[in-house]
Amino acid sequence: MASKKYLELQEFSDTDLAAELKAAEQEYQKMQFDHATKGVDNPLSIKEMRRDIARLNTEIRRREVASMPAEVLAKRSKIRARRRQKN
């Protein structure tokens, strides 16, 4: 089942997603620095921020793949199939 955060991200525009990603990455770096110097009240918030960044990146990539032309997708599928055969 999709989380509510994922469902909210689907409603964002591309520019909103990019802005949100940039803000989240800056906040994550700030949290890491604060945690290294003085400690953070809740260290699990760092983990949650990392997951939020991953959600944003996933949604951006999903939209990129959805907007690819059919011939690019076909080539991508061939490459992925070759990778599966090697393993």
User: Using CB atoms within 10 A of its CB, is residue 67 exposed (0-12), middle (13-18) or buried (19+)?
Assistant: exposed
Query: CA 74, CA 52: separation in Å to the nearest integer?
Result: 30
pLDDT tens per residue across span 46-57: 999 999 999 999
Give this prediction's pTM: 0.79
Residue type, 44: L
DSSP 1: -
49 and 6 Cβ atoms separated by less than 8 Å: no
**Mean per-residue pLDDT over the chain, rounded:** 88
81 pLDDT higher than 70: yes
87 pLDDT higher than 70: no
User: What confidence tier does 25 reach under pLDDT thresholds 50, 70, 90?
Assistant: very high
Which token pair is 48? 């949650």
* Residue appearing with tokens 């983990």: 47
8 pLDDT higher than 80: yes
